[in-house]
Amino acid sequence: MNENITEGPQEADTAALFPVSDRELVELQKWLGTRADEQGLVDVAHRTIDTPVGTLLLAATRTGLVRVAFEREGFEHVLQALADKIGPRVLNAPKRLDPVARELEEYFAGSRHEFDVPLDHTLSTGFRQSVQRYLPRIGYGDTLTYKEVAALVGNPRAVRAVGTACATNPLPIVVPCHRVLRSDGGLGGYLGGLDAKNTLLTLEKAV
């Protein structure tokens, strides 16, 4: 006896039955991240913003802003490093980063000359952290040399170490390592590339 069997929808047809656009999916992920953050389930919240120096990745712990990354660093690599060093619960939860995004927008608009958001220096230790904590004292539009910074942090011979501290600064722009130059006036290195460093200095009318 022949029987007609009607099969239910296959897994492959689910998307056709319940279509979700890429934009809706992104918004859903953000909503889930925000809800998880509100319930204390997020070790590191992150989001991206578009700026004159390219897309930036912002990441924050409960303590404060812990990472600002340039696209050339590889966002997935940066997020994996944060998961390894801080905690595995790394989610796109933009609400926690709203104050940082707002201050950066004001900075690039020229209306903000210093940042007020709390910072988390977990990713740096020892002399590097000492240098990075000093850098915000360099005023908007001003510059110092690596040698001058070494002297100001109490170790005049540690010029190369100051350069390393600037090159490995996990909070560029907010912690303004772009304001540190070579003794001959050259830009030196920069995590975001020399074009980005020059853009920031030009914005601040330091060059």
User: Residue 108 pLDDT more than 50?
Assistant: yes
- DSSP assignment string, 15-73: HHHS---HHHHHHHHHHHHHHHHHTT--SEEEEEEEETTEEEEEEE-SSSEEEEEEGGG
- Asked if residue 166 lies in contact with residue 188, where contact means CB atoms within 8 angstroms, the answer is yes
pLDDT one-digit tens code per residue, 122-152 = 999 999 999 999 999 999 999 999 999 999 9
The whole-number pLDDT of residue 33 equals 59
pLDDT digits (tens, 9 = 90+) for 78-106: 999 999 999 999 999 999 999 999 999 99
For residue 174, what is the DSSP state? T
pTM of the predicted model as reported, rounded to 2 decimal places: 0.82
Which backbone phi and psi does 38 adopt, to 5 degrees? -60, -30
| Residues with catalytic roles | 177
Mean pLDDT of the chain: 88
Residue 18 confidence class, pLDDT cut points 50, 70, 90: low
Where does residue 203 rank: exposed (0-12), middle (13-18), buried (19+ CB within 10 A)? middle
Q: To which H or E segment does residue 180 belong?
A: strand 180-181
DSSP, collapsed to helix, strand or coil, labels residue 119 as strand
